[in-house]
């Protein structure tokens, strides 16, 4: 591959959570999900907050509480999930100055805006083509003949 791909892994993380949840009935506590993701329960709650607001998941407190899926997986795309995270920046690079008076800067910005804009649009388009149901189906294929993946047994 080309570059490194680091930094923001919230989309990756929240999809991991959703896919786990799609494999067995809930509810799942933040702690359970956090253990499966090797992270902290508060991180789970944080990345799930936006999805709850949009009604993709539901959360309940107290005994027997936790997170449950609350949407039609075939209706929610990766782009929807991305938006639920607050649409964080997709590109790592950008213009030095957004609205420069300098004509040199304007010429540079125009050229880069074209390339960056095209790439961003394509990425959003691709994310919009993939539903959670498609991801879940792909996962089931990968699981193959094995029994239903038990989240409590999770750990590489």
Residues that bind DNA (CB under 7 A): 6-10, 13, 28-31, 39-43, 45-49, 52, 59-67, 88-89, 96
Task: Determine which residue in the list 10, 35, 45, 52 makes contact with a second copy, applying CB under 8 A.
Answer: 10
Task: Determine which residue in the list 30, 32, 33, 37 makes contact with a second copy, applying CB under 8 A.
Answer: 37
Half-sphere exposure of 1 (CA within 13 A, CB side): 3
Give the closest residue to 85 by CA, choosing from 140, 43, 125: 43
Contacts with a second copy: how many residues (CB under 8 A)? 68
Q: Which 69-88 residues touch a second copy, going by CB under 8 A? A: 78, 87-88
Please, what is the minimum distance in Å from the beta carbon of residue 116 to DNA?
14
Report the 10 Å Cβ neighbour count for 77. 20
40 binds a second copy (CB under 8 A): no
Give the closest residue to 100 by CA, choosing from 109, 88, 113: 109
* Nearer CB in complex with a second copy: 45/154: 154
Contacts of residue 56, defined as CB under 8 A and 6 or more positions apart, other chains included, come to 18, 69, 70, 71, 76, 80, 81, 84
Q: 79 with 45: CB under 8 angstroms? A: no
Please, what is the minimum distance in Å from the beta carbon of residue 110 to a second copy?
7
The item of a second copy, DNA, none sharing an interface with residue 122, based on CB under 5 to 8 Å by kind, is a second copy
Give the closest residue to 23 by CA, choosing from 128, 156, 133: 133
* Contact set with a second copy (CB under 8 A): 1-13, 15-16, 19-20, 23, 37, 78, 87-96, 98, 100-112, 114-124, 126-127, 130, 134-135, 138-139, 142-143, 149, 154-156
């Amino acid at each position: 591959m080309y570059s490194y791909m680091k930094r923001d892994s919230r989309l990756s993380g929240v999809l991991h959570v959703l896919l786990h949840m799609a494999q067995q009935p809930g509810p799942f506590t933040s702690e359970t999900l956090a253990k499966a993701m090797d992270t902290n329960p508060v991180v789970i709650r944080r990345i799930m907050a936006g999805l709850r607001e949009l009604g993709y998941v539901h959360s309940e407190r107290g005994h027997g509480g936790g997170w449950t899926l609350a949407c039609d997986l075939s209706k929610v795309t990766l782009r929807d999930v991305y938006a639920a995270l607050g649409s964080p920046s997709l590109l790592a690079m950008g213009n030095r100055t957004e609205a420069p008076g300098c004509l040199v800067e304007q010429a540079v910005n125009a050229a880069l805006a074209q390339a960056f804009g095209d790439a961003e649009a394509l990425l959003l388009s691709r994310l919009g083509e993939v539903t959670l149901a498609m991801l879940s189906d792909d996962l089931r294929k990968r699981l193959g003949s094995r029994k239903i993946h038990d989240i409590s047994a999770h750990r590489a």
